[in-house]
């Protein structure tokens, strides 16, 4: 299993969190619990060798080879698998509010969902998917999708400065800013901020804050820390251990202790340590 990270073009940096290519000669290992934990990032997924099977919220979906898919912001984990043959796909992870300026689709309509580009993005999605299928080299596919994203962006960016400020504040504090704090810092009500976030992010500020708190500890797991080591900073981010356990289980499906001791998630580890 190999993950190769791509340096996005400078014009795309404000909108894209990470950009990578997954390659495996034998698919996603059946002995590995290949999990994509929530990180606040909507995604474009381009499987070009083999198909991917995803299970989220009890629903199984297949991302077909030679397809183009959009994954809305999620507040729970997704389990991934594939058949045991050569498997490759490209993933573009947008910033929490980074997909809206390109697509112009209210992000609350995509939250916790996986969508075929032909259905969600209409003519653009269909034409881009077909063009990607006709490109043989990975580098060509990577360059082409960046060209197309820039073309969409130049049609008219819809970035919102208020949303950007709130997202950066939540990210830099690892979700420790309360809604009351955001109201005081911005001068806007919680209801108005929720409406903006639903359109631009697909999740409320409170939910995104919970994801950032979770990611603080999930990254520590990815670095190899034990559950006991994770607890050292616990009370700086959660009311108590029960609160932490509840949130962690909601994000992964496992208690933190069981996850750190029993779950092998090399796929998730490598993505997290990008």
- Containing 70, the helix (H) or strand (E) segment is strand 69-71
* Residue 215 belongs to domain spanning: 161-272
CATH number of the domain bearing residue 220: 1.10.10.60
Q: Are residues 17 and 117 in the same domain?
A: yes
pLDDT, residue 220, reads 86
Residue 268: pLDDT band with limits 50, 70, 90: confident
CA pair distance 241, 217, nearest whole angstrom: 13
Residues 65-84: what's their mean pLDDT? 96
Per-residue pLDDT tens over the stretch 144-187? 999 999 998 877 666 689 999 999 999 999 999 999 999 999 99
Domain boundary among 154, 187, 209: 154
CA pair distance 242, 259, nearest whole angstrom: 15
Q: Report whether pLDDT(228) > 90.
A: no
H helix intervals, 87-160: 100-103, 117-120, 122-133, 138-154
Q: Mean pLDDT lowest for which of 43-57, 96-110, 215-229, 242-256?
A: 215-229
Cα–Cα distances in Å, from 244 out to 24, 35, 182, 187, 198? 34, 20, 22, 30, 25
Residues 195-220: what's their mean pLDDT? 95
Q: Are residues 102 and 16 in the same domain?
A: yes
Residues 239-263: what's their mean pLDDT? 88
Structural domain total, the chain = 2
Beta strands in the chain (DSSP E): 2-5, 16-24, 35-36, 43-49, 52-56, 59-63, 69-71, 78-81, 87-94, 114-116
Q: Are residues 147 and 167 in the same domain?
A: no
pTM for the complete prediction?
0.94
- Containing 52, the helix (H) or strand (E) segment is strand 52-56
Q: Which of 40, 158, 16, 42 is nearest to 101 (CA)?
A: 158
Coil, helix or strand for 72?
Answer: coil
pLDDT, residue 167, reads 97
Residues 251-259: what's their mean pLDDT? 89
Q: Are residues 80 and 125 in the same domain?
A: yes
Q: Are residues 141 and 166 in the same domain?
A: no
What average pLDDT is seen over the chain? Answer: 92
Around 187, how many Cα atoms within 13 Å sit in the side-chain half-sphere? 1
Distance of CA 118 to the CA centre of its chain: 21
Q: Are residues 92 and 221 in the same domain?
A: no
Q: Are residues 125 and 41 in the same domain?
A: yes
Residue 226: pLDDT band with limits 50, 70, 90: confident
205 and 166 in contact (C-beta within 8 Å)?
Answer: yes
pLDDT, residue 236, reads 80
CA pair distance 176, 187, nearest whole angstrom: 19
Q: Which of 122, 120, 73 is nearest to 95 (CA)?
A: 73
Coil, helix or strand for 239?
Answer: coil
Q: Are residues 136 and 77 in the same domain?
A: yes
**pLDDT exceeding 70 applies to what percent of the chain?**
98
Angle ∠(91,202,145) on CA atoms, nearest 5: 25
Residue 20: pLDDT band with limits 50, 70, 90: very high
């Amino acid at each position: 299993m190999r993950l190769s990270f791509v340096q996005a073009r400078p014009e795309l940096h404000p909108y894209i969190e990470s950009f990578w290519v997954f390659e495996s000669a034998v698919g996603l290992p059946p002995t590995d619990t290949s999990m994509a934990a929530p990180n606040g990032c909507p995604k474009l997924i381009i499987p070009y060798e083999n198909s991917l099977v995803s299970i989220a919220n009890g629903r199984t979906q297949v991302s077909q080879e030679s397809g183009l898919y959009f994954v809305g912001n999620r507040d729970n984990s997704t389990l991934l698998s594939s058949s045991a043959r050569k498997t490759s796909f490209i993933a573009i992870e947008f910033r929490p509010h980074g997909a809206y300026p390109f697509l112009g689709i209210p992000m609350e309509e995509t939250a916790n969902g996986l969508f075929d580009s032909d259905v969600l993005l209409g003519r653009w999605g269909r034409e881009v998917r077909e063009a990607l299928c006709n490109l043989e080299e990975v580098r060509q596919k990577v360059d082409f999708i960046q060209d197309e994203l820039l073309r969409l962006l130049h049609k008219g960016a819809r970035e919102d400065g208020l949303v950007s400020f709130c997202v950066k504040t939540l990210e830099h504090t690892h979700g420790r800013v309360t809604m009351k704090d955001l109201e005081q810092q911005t001068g806007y009500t919680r209801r108005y901020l929720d409406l903006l976030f639903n359109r631009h992010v697909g999740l409320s500020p409170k939910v995104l804050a919970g994801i950032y708190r979770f990611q603080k500890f999930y990254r520590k797991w990815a670095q190899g820390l034990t559950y006991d080591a994770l607890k050292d900073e616990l009370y700086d981010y959660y009311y108590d251990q029960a609160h932490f356990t509840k949130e962690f289980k909601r994000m992964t499906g496992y208690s933190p202790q069981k996850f750190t001791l029993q779950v092998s998630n090399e796929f998730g580890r490598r993505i997290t340590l990008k």
